[in-house]
Amino acid sequence: MKKHLLINGDWIKASEYRDLYAPYNGDKLAEVAFANAREINLAIDAADRAIKSMAQLTAFQRAEILMKLVELLKGRRHECATIIATESAKPIKAAIVEVDRTIMTYTFAAEEAKRINGETVPMDAAPGGENRIAYTLRQPLGIIAAITPFNFPMNLVAHKIGPAIAAGNTIILKPASQTPLSSIYLGELLMECGLPPGALNIVTGSGAKIGEKLVIDNRIKAITFTGSPQIGKKIKNQAGLKRVTLELGSNSALLIDKNVNLTDFIGRCVNGSFSFAGQVCISLQRIYVHEEIYDQFVTSFLEETKKLKIGNPLDHTTDISSLISEQDVERSLKWINEAVIAGAELVIGGQRRANNTLEPSVLLNVPSTEKISCQEVFAPVVMINKISSMEEGITEINESKYGLQAGIFTNDLQLALKAAERLEVGGVMINDIPTFRVDHMPYGGVKESGIGKEGIKYAIDEMLETKLVCFRKI
C-alpha cells in the first residue's frame, strides 16, 4: 500500500517511494513516500501559509482539537499498538503502554493549551520605570520542524506535535525512516479533528538527504529533534539562529547502596535494562552496586533476566524482539567482545538469535573506557560493576559524556540528597531506575544528552515567543 506525503491537508503523491519492511520478519509493510527537496519546499510553503489560521485559533479550539485526537486514539488503542509493534519490532505489550502514554501526552497538551499565559512586570522596580504598566504576551513562533527517532514512534511524536498545536504553531514532521507508519496514522486521525489545512505536514524520506533542507530553511523558526547525539550536533551547527531543542542519547546509570531490600526493585532493574531490547534513551546501561551487596544483586538480576522471553513482537508474551537493524546486532556483539577482551566477564547472553534478536546480555567488571560503558549501547546489554563507596559510584556516573537521567536506591537520606545535588544529569530518580518517565515531567539531558526540555509545559515554553507590552500612563 502506498503512503503519501501530508501537505496542506491533502495526501500528495510523491515522485519516489521506498519499500518499508518489518524488522522482525522482513515482511513488506508499505511503499512510503521518499520526499525530495521540491516536496519539502511544498510542505514548508503550506506550513507558512497556515501560520495565520493556526495563530487565530483560540486556546479553547486548540484544546478541543487535541481532545478529539485523544478520543480517537482511545478508540483505536489496539490498532495503534499493532502499527508500532510491526514497524519497530517493539513487543506488543510495550507498544500498548506507549499508546496509553501517547494518549496521556495529548491530554496534557490539551490541558496546557488553556494555561499559556504571560505575566505583569513591575516596571517601577527600576528608576525611570514609574508610570508604566507592562505585561508579556506569549505568541506562537511560526513553523516548527519536528524530527523524530524510531524507538517511540507515537509518543515521541506526540511530545512535539502536542505542544506545537497547544502553542498555536504549524508543524513539519519528519519521522524516522523505519517507523513512518505511526506518524502517517496520526496524520490521518488529526485530519478528522479540525486542524487547519497546512498546520501539520508530514514528510517521509531520508533524514540524511532532506534533513538539512528543513534545518537550514529560514522560514522554520524552531527545530525540535529527538535522536542520536551525532545528528543532534550536526543540526545544532546548521540551524543558525533558530531555536533548537535536542533530546539525545545516554548511557544511563544506577547506584545501589548497601542495606537496601533487593526484592523490592530487582524486577524494575531488569525491565529498565531490557525493555524494547534496550533501545530506549534512558535504558539502564550501567549499574554500580556496593560491594557488600554485589554478589546477591548479580545473582538475583540473572535469575530475573532468565525469565525474559524472546520472540515475535506481536505475541503478547514476548519481552524482547528484534533490534531495529542487523547492523545494530553486529555492533552490539562487537562491543561485547571488545569488553570481554579488555577483562569484563560476560555472565549471560552475548548470542544472536533468529530474526535479528540479541539475547539479553549482562557483563561484569567492565572497564570505564569500554564502549559498553562509555558509549550508548542501545541494545539489550547491561553492565554491573562493584564499587566500594557511593562516592566512587557518583564519580563513575559523572565521568560519562552523557547526562540524561540517573537513579539511586538507598535508605540513607543524606546520601540521596547528596546524589541529587551532585549527579550531572537532567533528572535524578531516588529509589527508582533512571528509565522512569511520565509525560508531563520536565525531561531533557545535560552534556551530550541534549539541550532544552520536553514534558508538555516545558516543550510549549520552547515553542513560544515572549513579547513585552508596555503602556506609559500619560
Contact residues for ligand NAP, defined by CB under 6 A = 147-152, 156, 174-177, 206-208, 211-212, 215, 226-228, 231, 234-235, 247-250, 281, 376, 378, 404, 450
Contacts of residue 456, Cβ cutoff 8 Å, sequence gap at least 6: 105, 108, 109, 112, 159, 162, 163, 166, 439, 440
Give least dist CB 138 to ligand NAP, A. Answer: 24
Q: E-assigned strands of 67-151?
A: 120-121, 132-140, 143-147
CB of 151 or CB of 332, closer to ligand NAP: 151
CB 65 to ligand NAP: min, Å: 25
Minimum gap (Å) between residue 326 Cβ and ligand NAP: 14
Distance in angstroms (rounded) separating the CA atoms of residues 70 and 27: 30
Residue 402 · residue 247 · CB < 8 Å: no
Catalytic residue, candidates 39, 87, 247, 454: 247
281 a catalytic residue:
yes
Closest distance to ligand NAP from the beta carbon of 294 (Å): 28
Report yes or no: 335 and 100 within 8 Å, Cβ to Cβ.
Answer: no
Nearest to 466 by CA among 154, 228, 89, 121: 121
Burial of 84 (0-12, 13-18, 19+ CB in 10 A): buried
3-class secondary-structure state, position 219 = coil
Q: Which of 98, 112, 269, 281 is catalytic?
A: 281
3-state class of 134 per DSSP? Answer: strand
Q: In whole angstroms, what is the distance from residue 371 CA to residue 108 CA?
A: 38
- Concerning whether 71 is annotated as a catalytic residue, the answer is no
- Compute CA distances 301 → 10, 80, 287, 305, 389, whole Å: 51, 33, 11, 6, 21
Find the shortest distance in angstroms from Cβ 186 to ligand NAP. 15
Closer Cβ to ligand NAP, 276 or 297, answer by number: 276
Please list the active-site residues. 247, 281
